[in-house]
Structure 1
Amino acid sequence: MGGAPLVLAPWLDALSDRWWGLTPRTRTVLATCLVAALLSGAALRTAASPYGTPVAVLVAAEDLPAGSELDPSVLQRARWPGELVPEGYRLDATGTLTAPLPAGAVLTDAHVTDRGLGGLLDATDSAVPLPAELVPPLPVGTVVQVVATGVDGTGTVLADRAEVIASDGGSLWLAVPHAAAADVAAAGLRGSVALAVRSPG
């Protein structure tokens, strides 16, 4: 290509001459020091961030309902600014959720029990599974009336206010009073059970 040759500013031309006048080893050392200085500056800027140094956390990979059993397939690692990380954040990807965990939310000790479904129950309740094919796919937290159905079309209330606490695909788990647990379980085994949704209040 034609045209006038590139002319550097005098100070830049002098700097270039001095650079190339150095030995290759000296140039390598200086370049390494420059890169290290740039990386240190970046680290200092991060540490000086108003939101703090990034911290490793576990977040939900998808919306997880209460009662979900945790494992590495439903959680993923992320880095959050330290000032934004909630207290009690948890790095152990095991346990049972006691509360819903939306996708992207940080897992904390407050979300988890290590006692399985028993950790979701009041002292007066038992956890009873009903076959998923017998009942509608109700979300966790739904309050229901459990009814035993008779061959003559009549129904008998077994538990007036039970609560859906988990769903594992094959079963819908209900928290029912101890006194009604055996009857509800038996009705589920017989296939003679129905649920009526109640007001949560």
Structure 2
Amino acid sequence: MGREPPHRMRRSARLLATLRTSGWRRTLLMRRTAALLLAALALALALRPADAGSRGPVVVAARDLPSGTALTPADLTLATWPGDLVPAGVLTAPADGTGRVLAGAARAGEPITDVRLAGPDAAGRVTGRPGDAAVPIRLADPDVARLLEPGSRVDVVTPAPDGDRPVVLAADAAVLTVVAAEADTISPGQGSRGRLVLVALPRADAARVAAAALSEQVAVTLR
């Protein structure tokens, strides 16, 4: 084969000289880096959960709240959370929790869900019996409330008509919460009363205990 013409050789030499310059190498490196970054971004977008970018309102505790708090609007506030972090059953409006009783203590910023509030959901969760009802009883001895906490198991009793052994109204009731003292108001002239306690019971027992609590002294024995 013959040698290339001189003008082609000069053109090839100039091209090689250009490719060897630092400016060209820097441009090539920047293009490769940009291509890698774009590929990594595309992969991250492809792997991101579909709802990760969505955000939703979540009702959270506005301050540290003790167990048994009767919730007021000042106790609750709205926060915006990423959709994939919103827990199931969370309240989405403070009005949904106002007037309800907190079944367990909550820290400031903690989301308030349906099972954190005293009621059928909390009763079924504590006892494992979905049909259980939450029943408020006022203890004859207010000091007994200090011995109780959510999850405690008790028997609900009342004095026998003849003053003999107490009558067991319900066995193995689960304590949902003891209503906070500041929420348990006393009307003038009523004098000192026992603390209000919410217990979870099967519905047949719940009706009997609720009726007895209206007219009789009620106490609990710890299991």
Q: Structure 1 residues 114, 172: CA separation in 2 closer, same or farther (over 3 Å shift)?
A: closer
Structure 2 residue corresponding to 1:164, chosen from 175, 178, 185: 175
Match of 1:104 in 2: 108
**Cα distance between partner residues in 1 of 2:91 and 2:217:** 42
Shift of 1:130: 1.1
Q: Structure 1 residues 147, 97: CA separation in 2 closer, same or farther (over 3 Å shift)?
A: closer
- Structure 2: 5+ residue runs without aligned partners? 1-52, 125-129, 186-195
**Cα distance between partner residues in 1 of 2:135 and 2:121:** 14
Q: Is the CA contact (8 Å cut-off) linking 2:138 and 2:213 kept in structure 1? A: yes
Deviations along 1:146-176, one digit per CA (max 9) or x if unpaired, are 1122252411222111112244426322211
Bigger fraction of residues in strand:
1
* Percent of paired sites with the same residue: 28
Match of 2:154 in 1: 144
Q: Structure 1 residues 117, 139: CA separation in 2 closer, same or farther (over 3 Å shift)?
A: same
TM-score after normalising by structure 2: 0.47
Bigger fraction of residues in helix:
2
Shift of 1:131: 2.1
Match of 1:121 in 2: 123
Q: Is the CA contact (8 Å cut-off) linking 1:98 and 1:113 kept in structure 2? A: no
Match of 1:92 in 2: 93
TM-score after normalising by structure 1: 0.51
**Cα distance between partner residues in 1 of 2:109 and 2:121:** 21
CA root-mean-square deviation:
3.8
**Cα distance between partner residues in 2 of 1:192 and 1:90:** 36
The alignment status of 1:155 with 2:166, answered yes or no, reads yes
Shift of 1:144: 1.0
Deviations along 1:43-88, one digit per CA (max 9) or x if unpaired, are xxxxxxxxx9x998653211343x65544311245688x69x9324
Shift of 1:115: 9.3
Match of 2:60 in 1: 59
Shift of 1:107: 1.0
Q: How many residues align?
A: 140
Please tell me whether Structure 1 or Structure 2 has the larger radius of gyration of its CA atoms.
2
- Structure 1: 5+ residue runs without aligned partners? 1-51
